Chain A
Amino acid sequence: MYSIVIYFITGLLLVISLIASRKKTLMALKKAWRSFEGILPELIAILLFVGLLIALLNPETISQLLGESSGVLGLLIASAIGSITLIPGFVAFPTAVMLLNNGAGITQIALFISTLMMVGVVTFPVEKKYFGIRLTIMRNVMAFGFSFIVAGLMGVILG
């Protein structure tokens, strides 16, 4: 649904742009393609790698590892999986629900969701192209630390 809206708006703006100036529109499309091609190799590798990683991990084992009483180890595993993998939201949230139903703790799940969204280990090669190595490391380390705060607060309030 959302993607239809985005495609529609983009198409509309593209037509308007084309009417306004053919030359500028071509320039915009050229820039769009060049930026896209710039991250394409990393993107393909990332998507293949993450597919492999998730296929190798099995949901029952994960639920057990992330259980209510899994303590520090569970937190470490949750944050490691969340940080490394890159899972689309429409897969991640239902997975989180499934893990909760299988006995995973709320703190662990909040940590998993938060690191999944904010920390990107596999996307590091793409991020550092734009922000440089130092800032990329700092941003990810801070986001990693912050995810523990988020999860801790959520565990205390909702748990």
Chain B
Amino acid sequence: MKAKRYVFPLVTAGLVFAVFAADNQIGLNALSITGSSFLEMLSVIPPIFILLGLLDVWIPREKIIRHLGEESGIKGIVLSFLLGAAAAGPLYGAFPIAAVFMKKGVKFSNVLIFIGAWSTTKIPMFMFEMGSLGAGFALLRLAINIPGILLMAIILERITGKESIGAICAQAASISE
């Protein structure tokens, strides 16, 4: 079962190898791009997972519910935004954290706000965006994204419904055990 999970990456590696055989230059380019993505991953993903483990072990459920749970209101929304924005790294790093959040009783729309904020309002990324595309571009994009993220989180929570949310949270809890 465990080995089967690695079929997908092996097939992809075979594909890259085939391209390399057909055209060395494109193959090398592909590998160098993969290399830089891999470095990006290594620069943030391992500590994120360790922080996640520590969070899971040390922070009690009650505390998280108080700040981010059903009754957390505006404070919970702002906090979810800030947590997502303070992050670094690609979006797939946010999913395991979201799973622990769900397990610990974070309000579902706050989980979605966290994901939204992580995807597009990360502070280090924002600095970089300002530097390359200009303050006007970066600030305008941020200004449109903040209400958008909020709205999408609320709509997604509504259309998913209580039952499915319960199932998703149970599933997430079983993964992060």
Contacts and interface: CB of A to CB of B under 8 A. Distances in A.
Partners in one complex: yes
A138 B160 contact: yes
B167 A132 contact: yes
Interface in B133-168: 133, 136-137, 140-141, 144-145, 148, 152, 155-156, 159-160, 164, 167-168
Interface of B: 5-6, 8-9, 11-13, 15-16, 19, 26-27, 29-38, 40-41, 43-54, 56-58, 88, 90-92, 95-96, 98-99, 112, 115-116, 119-120, 122, 124-125, 128-129, 131-133, 136-137, 140-141, 144-145, 148, 152, 155-156, 159-160, 164, 167-168, 171-172, 175-177
Contacts of B33: 50-51, 54-55, 91
Contacts of B47: 3, 6-7, 9-10
Interface of A: 2-3, 6-7, 9-10, 13-14, 17, 24-25, 27-33, 35-36, 38-39, 41-52, 54-56, 86-91, 93-94, 96-97, 100, 106, 109-110, 113-114, 117-118, 120, 123, 125-127, 129-132, 134-135, 138-139, 142-143, 146, 149-150, 153-154, 157-158
Given A28-B53, A52-B30, 20 more contacts: A3-B47, A6-B44, A10-B51, A13-B54, A17-B54, A24-B57, A24-B58, A31-B52, A31-B177, A32-B50, A35-B49, A35-B176, A39-B92, A42-B8, A48-B13, A48-B30, A51-B16, A51-B29, A127-B92, A134-B164
B26 A56 contact: yes
Nearest to B136: A158
Given A32-B53, A130-B99, A131-B95, A49 B137 contact: no
B50 A14 contact: yes
A138 B153 CA distance: 11
Contacts of B44: 2-3, 6
Contact of A142 (B50, B131, B152): B152
Contacts, number: 227
> Closest 4 A-B residue pairs measured CB to CB?
A51-B34, A32-B53, A28-B53, A3-B43
